[in-house]
Amino acid sequence: MKTTTRRDILKQGGLLAMLVSCGMLTTQQALAADAPGFDAKTLEDALKALGGKAVDSKDIVITSPDIAENGAVVPVAVTSNIPKTQEIYILVEKNPNPLTATFTIPDGTEPFMSVRTKMGQSSNVYAVVKADGKLYSAFRETKVTLGGCGG
């Protein structure tokens, strides 16, 4: 299995940027070309695209505010204590497209990620972890006082 280097990522990113700037590829196509589930409209459809039903796990730690004053920039962090973590997904249940972010965790790295996401309204934020080919999940409720997704 070939490991991806920083140089490879920079080359691929440059190529995508060039294709987008020339009009040969739309930004939407460039960002979601290989990402299953981003077009899902419900939480269930997004989970199905990721591989099916996830098992609840206490080994996933989600950090997000209890109350977010601005739904346009809600900080979410996830740490997985599950061995052999391969991927981490962030889903916001009541967003128009629940799947918000995906992260691939290379072997030998700490399974942690942090992102700022949009939330249209108060909702459960789910962290789904793919580890050793199986899906695990945890959720945390975050209340939003000012909407971010079209609000």
Rg (Cα) of the chain, in Å, rounded? Answer: 16
In a domain, 150, yes or no: no
Comparing CA positions, the residue from 17, 40, 41 lying closest to residue 29 is 17
pLDDT at residue 13 tops 90? no
CATH code of the domain in which 130 resides:
2.60.40.2470
pLDDT at residue 40 tops 90? no
Whether residue 92 is found in the same domain as residue 134:
yes
Whether residue 61 is found in the same domain as residue 6:
no
Whether residue 17 is found in the same domain as residue 46:
no
Whether residue 97 is found in the same domain as residue 124:
yes
In a domain, 97, yes or no: yes
Structure tokens at 72: 């346009």
Structure tokens at 94: 């009541």
Whether residue 69 is found in the same domain as residue 99:
yes
pLDDT at residue 4 tops 70? no
Whether residue 20 is found in the same domain as residue 81:
no
Whether residue 108 is found in the same domain as residue 135:
yes
Task: Quick: pLDDT tens for 58-86.
Answer: 999 999 999 998 888 999 999 999 999 99
In a domain, 151, yes or no: no
**Percent of the chain whose predicted confidence (pLDDT) is above 90:** 56
Give whole-number Cα distances, 44 to 87, 120, 135, in Å.
Answer: 18, 18, 14
Spacing of C-alpha 149 from chain mean position: 16
Whether residue 5 is found in the same domain as residue 77:
no
Place of tokens 């409209």: 41
User: What's residue 84's pLDDT?
Assistant: 94
Whether residue 77 is found in the same domain as residue 135:
yes
User: What's residue 9's pLDDT?
Assistant: 74
Whether residue 21 is found in the same domain as residue 83:
no
Task: Quick: pLDDT tens for 82-114.
Answer: 999 999 999 999 999 999 999 999 888 899 999
Whether residue 1 is found in the same domain as residue 29:
yes
Whether residue 140 is found in the same domain as residue 68:
yes
| Domain span including residue 107 | 36-144
Is 51 or 62 the better-scoring residue by pLDDT?
62
Task: Quick: pLDDT tens for 124-138.
Answer: 999 999 999 999 999
In a domain, 149, yes or no: no
Total domain count, the chain: 2
Pairing verdict, β 134-144 and 67-68: parallel
In a domain, 87, yes or no: yes
User: What's residue 151's pLDDT?
Assistant: 46
- 59 vs 52: CA distance, rounded Å: 19
Give the up-direction half-sphere exposure of residue 28: CA atoms within 13 A in the CB hemisphere. Answer: 2
